[in-house]
Structure formats: structure tokens, C-alpha cells
Amino acid sequence: MAEVDVSTVSRVLRGQSEQRIRAETRDRILEVAKKLNYRANYTARALRMSRTFTLGIVVPQLDNPVFSAAIRGAENHAAKNGYSLLISHRDPGDAGTTIAKLSQMNRVDGLLVASLDADEVLRSDLAEANVPYVLLNRLLPGTALSVVLDSQEAARRATEYLISLGHRRIGHLGGRPGGFNAQERLAGYKMALDAANIPFDPRLVTMGDYTFDAGRVSVRELAKTDATAIMAATLVSAAGAMAELRLAGWQLPQEMSVIALHDALFAEMLFPALSTVMMPTEEMGRVAADLLIRKLSGEDPDPVRALPPGRLIIRDSTVAPRSGARISK
């Protein structure tokens, strides 16, 4: 309609290398394009450029606030840079299938991978990917790109806060023994104890996964000890612990203080409202997308980005321990 070659249109619309276009021609093309509401066909462009401008994100759970925040962060940043986000909820069962499917069909230029799987499983899944990827809150020996939260520091701060309230017998509701984050958190927990000259007692540490039910189960062990406070790995397991304790007749927070890592709206919905150390999960998604996009643009970014924990949010679940010894139930 503008009576020019399509190649000219392409050059004008892409905006770059405008040196070889007469202003008059450019204006005419832009005008017609606007009138026609014309946009370059994405698929054709992707084929020609052999880039899809699409990122894939693989998450194990969609209803976990940690992952939904990461998705949000990634999607926003991706959109800002002209990328779209393809989501792939991956059941733990068909591990790796989606990774393979997305990358082998050239549907995505790169992958954001959040996985709770064991190192070896994850590694073999990723071996099939023929695209760059970034790991979320995971470190895998090798050169994989990663964005990690500083769980150790977060755990240290949470524990430190409990100590500052006067607690000396502090339980830890942790994650799976093998998991990367579980170790980190445990280390942070110990670090805080050390700093306060409180001896480490392995009976006060229970491991589970990060589910509500695991929280319920694990806390039964702690209930048998003389712990006066609990530092829980995640919101969800903390919620499980509180539910179970209450069911057993405990007064919260008077008889047991609870603090958790990660923050989300629902910490406030719990009773008592849960004190937390906020973790920058949305930021994690954003940074991961950024890292991946840089990588795709040919840059060679530092492989690992560590994100410091956020602030301590003191709500109602943490109080000073009772002066007297707790009456055993």
C-alpha cells in the first residue's frame, strides 16, 4: 500500500539502520502501518532469525507463592525485553519431558528451571536441553547459570531474632537432607547459635519436605523437646507446624514461637500472623530472566547471582519465651 518493497517496510519497522531510508519514505510507511494496524508476523520473524523470543519456565508447583512470585518477576522482565513466557507446569512424575519437549522443538530460546529434584535427576533432565538455561535457587556443580537466594543468611537472621527474644532452645524445621537449600539453612541456623554461644543440639533439627503435611509431622518431634521456638524453612511448613501444635492444645505464640523464611500475603492470614524473613522471590524471577536474556544476546554474564534476603517482618507468632519452664503436655 505504501508502494515500497517489503524489505523496506521491514527495515523501517525494525527501527534499526534507518540511515538508508529517506525520511519521507519512512513516514509514509509508518503511517500506512498504523492505519492498517500492521505488526510483523511473529512466526515468520522467528523462523528467519531462528530465535523465538520466547522463554520457557518450568516449575514443579503453580500454587506455591514462591513460584508464582518468580513467574511474575520473570514474566514482567521478559515482556519488557520483548520476550514471552511459556509456562510449563511439570509434574514431578514426568520429569524432564517438558524440558526436552520445549527445547527440542525449538519453541523457546532458553529455559528458566525451578526444580526440587535431586541433583542427578535434574542434571540428566537438563542434558537433553539444547538451549541455554538458568536454574532458580539451585546450584549445580558445573557452569550452569543460577540465581540463588541467600538461604543461609536468611536462616541466620531468623534464628538470631529468636535468640534476641530470649530463646535458647530453638527447633529447626528443615528441608530434605540432600537438598541444597536445606544445608544452607542449617548452616545459617548453626551460625546464629554459635554466635550466641548456644550449643547445637541435633535433636532440635527435623527434616522433611516443604509441604503442609510435612510440617505437621515434623513438628511432633519438636513438641517432645524443650524447644520454645521454631525456625521453619518455608511458610507452608510453618503453617503445618502451627496447625498441628494448636490441635495438640498448645497456646501460640506463648508456648511456641514460630518464624519462617519467605514471605507472602498469606503469612498475614495465619493465626497468629507469622513472622518471617522476606525472600526476594519475585526478584529472583526477574534476575533469572535477565541473566538468560543477556546470555541469549551473546553476553557472558557471571554464572551465579546471589540475592540477599529481605527484611525481617515481625508479626504475632514470635514472642519472648515464658520465664518459667513450660509445663510438659
Partner DNA sequence: TAATTCTGAACAAACGATTGTTCAAGGTTG
Partner DNA sequence: CAACCTTGAACAATCGTTTGTTCAGAATTA
Name the residues that contact DNA, by CB under 7 A.
Answer: 3-8, 10-11, 13-14, 19-22, 24-26, 38-41, 44-45, 47-50
Q: Is 84 in the site for its own copies (CB under 8 A)?
A: yes
Distances (CA, A) of 129 to 55, 100, 102, 134, 250: 13, 6, 8, 12, 50
Per-residue interface string for the shown chain with its own copies, residues 34-73, x marking contact by CB under 8 A: ---x-xxxxxx-xx--x-x-x-------xx-x--xx-xx-
* Window contacting its own copies (CB under 8 A); options: 17-25, 27-35, 84-92, 186-194: 84-92
- Residue 82 DSSP class: T
Q: Do residues 275 and 63 lie in contact, with contact meaning Cβ atoms separated by under 8 Å?
A: no
Residue 123 cell numbers, joined = 542434571
Specify the residue, 6 or 327, whose C-beta has the smaller distance to DNA: 6
Binding site partner of 273, from its own copies, DNA, none, Cβ cut-off 5-8 A by kind: its own copies
Q: Which does 143 bind (CB under 5 to 8 A by kind): DNA, its own copies, none?
A: none
Q: How far is CA 3 from CA 25, 37, 277, in A?
A: 10, 17, 62
Q: Say which entry of its own copies, DNA, none residue 85 contacts (CB below 5 to 8 A, set by partner kind).
A: its own copies
Residue type for position 227: A
Establish if 129 lies at the interface with its own copies (CB under 8 A). Answer: no
Cβ distance to its own copies smaller for residue 71 or 259? 71
Q: If you write DSSP's letter for every residue of 106-144 in order, what string do you get? A: T--SEEEE---S-HHHHHHHHHT--S-EEEES---SSS-
The H or E element that residue 205 is part of is strand 205-207
When the beta carbons of 226 and 268 are compared against its own copies, the nearer one is 268
Q: Is 242 in the site for its own copies (CB under 8 A)?
A: yes
Q: Is 315 in the site for its own copies (CB under 8 A)?
A: no
CA 100 to CA 57: how far, in whole Å? 13
Which of 265, 297, 323, 329 forms a contact with its own copies (CB under 8 A)? 265
Please state, in angstroms and as integers, the Cα–Cα distance from residue 202 to each residue in 116, 221, 225, 227, following that order: 24, 12, 11, 12
Side chain identity, residue 238: A
- Where along the sequence are the contacts to its own copies (CB under 8 A)? 37, 39-44, 46-47, 50, 52, 54, 62-63, 65, 68-69, 71-72, 75-76, 79, 84-89, 98, 102, 104-107, 212, 236, 239-240, 242-243, 246, 264-266, 268-271, 273
